[in-house]
Amino acid sequence: LLDLTLVGADKTVIEDNVPAGWLVSNPSDGGSIEDTNTVNWIFINSAPGVTQLTYDVTIPGDAAVGPYTFGGEFDLAVAAPGLQTITCDTQMNVVEVPEEPECPVADYDPIVIEPCWNFMSVPFALNNSSVEFVLADINYNNLLYWNTSGAIWEIPTEFEPLKAYWIESNESVDQLISSEILEPLTPAVPPTMTVYPGWNAIGYTDSMAILPAELMLGSIDESYMVVIGPYDSANGMYEQIGHNGETGVISGIHVGTDIFDMGPYEGFWVYVTQEDTIAGF
């Protein structure tokens, strides 16, 4: 950028040179590029008055850190003295710009959508949680969420952690919600959700580990009796029924919550006796 105050000149010739290897472009006010690192302006029989002349400079990516000098000449009169050297501030410093840190990206398993009905959940708040985005590549017939407080089935538009959803696949083979889709919202507060008396459809909020219901449901330990799941799409049955306060195997699929496993992407039914708040991880 050149700041000028020129009054009474009978011609104006300005030439500016950037350091070798740098490139000039886009000179203002009718300026022209003489070669890749020289720009000039010529005003015949006139003076531009008070103005700014500008041009863009592209600095090579391998330019060394340190000071660089611009050189230039000007001529403001038909008579002598002729061309003179520009002697204003003609230096600039190239400084090292620190690279932005590359944030780590966790590698998650995809969510498998099997043929027929699936009872699924998302493990955390998603960066893009819209159903349209998450299920863009999934061929399905129905997506439902049981709203216990309203005692009604709802068609969700967003996926939320700690909620479990029923999705009916329209394919005869497994479909995958890829790990790229499951990008977590960062930063995010660990989720909580109000549960109400009756059966609540809850999700699981650890994307890696399998934990017993005794730990996962510790925040509502005084408020629930039974937890059921996960749902096996292949045979249309629940795998376990966990009884709060009991331990070990009771009979068949009935177990204590100390050995009732809850895992990533699964959905579960939990029977609640009083309104409470479940906390995720």
Q: Output the pLDDT for position 160.
A: 96
Clarify whether residues 38 and 177 are in a common domain. no
d(CA 263, CA 265): 7
Clarify whether residues 171 and 255 are in a common domain. yes
> Which is nearest to 129 in space by CA: 166, 177, 167?
177
- Is residue 210 one of the residues assigned to a domain? yes
What sign does the dihedral 78-82-88-91 (CA atoms) show?
Answer: positive
Q: Output the pLDDT for position 5.
A: 58
> Which is nearest to 277 in space by CA: 238, 221, 233?
221
Clarify whether residues 43 and 80 are in a common domain. yes
Q: Output the pLDDT for position 82.
A: 64
Clarify whether residues 144 and 50 are in a common domain. no
- Is residue 101 one of the residues assigned to a domain? no
Among 94, 128, 157, the domain-final residue is: 94
Clarify whether residues 18 and 82 are in a common domain. yes
Query: Can you give the residue range of the structural domain that contains 256?
Result: 111-279
Clarify whether residues 151 and 33 are in a common domain. no
Taking the CB of residue 8, how many other CB atoms lie within 10 A of it?
Answer: 8
Clarify whether residues 89 and 115 are in a common domain. no
- Residues with pLDDT less than 50, the chain: none
Q: Output the pLDDT for position 45.
A: 66
Q: Output the pLDDT for position 172.
A: 95
* Cα–Cα distance list, 128 to 88, 143, 147, 164 (Å): 53, 18, 22, 17
Taking the CB of residue 249, how many other CB atoms lie within 10 A of it?
Answer: 11
96 backbone dihedrals φ, ψ, rounded to 5°: -80, 125
Clarify whether residues 24 and 70 are in a common domain. yes
Among 67, 94, 121, the domain-final residue is: 94
- Is residue 229 one of the residues assigned to a domain? yes
Clarify whether residues 40 and 145 are in a common domain. no
Q: Output the pLDDT for position 53.
A: 81
- Is residue 266 one of the residues assigned to a domain? yes
Q: Output the pLDDT for position 246.
A: 97
> Which is nearest to 51 in space by CA: 81, 79, 31?
31
d(CA 250, CA 170): 37
Q: Output the pLDDT for position 47.
A: 61
Clarify whether residues 125 and 180 are in a common domain. yes
The total number of structural domains that make up the chain = 2
Clarify whether residues 72 and 200 are in a common domain. no
d(CA 9, CA 28): 20
